[in-house]
Amino acid sequence: MMSLRYTVTSVFVFVFLSLGTYAEEHTVLFREDFKSLINWEPLYFPKIEKHSSYGIHTDGTTSFLKAVSNDSASALIYKQLFNIYEYPFIKWRWKVENVYKNGNAKTKEGDDYPLRIYIMFKYDPKKAGFFEKLKYKTANLIYGQYPPHSSLNYIWSNKIFAESIITSSYTKKSKMIPLQSGILKGGTWQNEKVDIVKDYQRAFGTTPPAEASIAIMNDSDNTGESSVSYLDYIEVYRENGDNNSQI
């Protein structure tokens, strides 16, 4: 009995100290464990009428996001912007049931992913040149809002690419970063961690705008296929002592 009590106490102390160390080393802006979708809202795209579906799925005491697409596209976007220099790190856990047979990050026809984490950087008219202002003003008149300045897409692609960063076939202002590929790890949870400031600098060769929004997306409108994917949690945070600062 004494040995069992000592073991339980030791485990409790270890967990307590580990949590304390994590709290000292990290400052979390937000962590979404998908108990509900109250902090998220749908994101629809022009000319795409069929939308993907997102809902909370439970397995015993665990809940997570389930994303389903069937020749469709839409996303969930977090309601609040955040400063990427203050909170440059994102981590999450995801899994997919399948990938797209005809997916291809290098073509418009194959630009679909069973799951992506979509970082959209806010356009700032105060920092734009004349022609850029004109282009964004026109888009605002047509769609009722400014499109993003640029974006990073962390994707689960259908195959391995030689490149670690791929320019979108739709616009050079959107970069695709494959973190997982193929179906070998399909059906299993995979953990990810990214530094969006450093990834942006690698992708675009310059520093990113300060404000960004985060979205989750499962789309299949280009391939016409279908998929099911899951997101266990997502967390935006900074590592205390990190020296990311806006230039």
Q: pLDDT of 136-161, one tens digit each?
A: 544 443 344 455 789 999 999 999 99
Residue linked to tokens 């016409």? 224
Three-state DSSP at 203 gives helix
**pLDDT for the residue 60:** 86
Rounded Cα gap, residues 107 and 112, in angstroms:
10
Rounded Cα gap, residues 1 and 35, in angstroms:
38
Q: Output the CA–CA distances (angstroms, integers) from residue 221 to 44, 45, 129, 175, in the order listed.
A: 12, 11, 34, 19
CATH number among 2.40.10.120, 2.60.120.260, 3.10.100.10, 2.30.42.10, domain 27-239: 2.60.120.260
**pLDDT for the residue 149:** 85
**Domain ranges across the chain:** 27-239
Written as one string, the DSSP assignment of 25-84 is HEEEEEEE--S--TTEEEE--TT--S--EEEEEEETTEEEEEEEEES---EEEESS-EET
Extract the residue ranges of the chain whose pLDDT is less than 70. 1-23, 123-147, 242-247
- Burial classification of residue 91, based on how many CB atoms lie within 10 Å of its CB (0-12 exposed, 13-18 middle, 19 or more buried): middle
**pLDDT for the residue 244:** 60
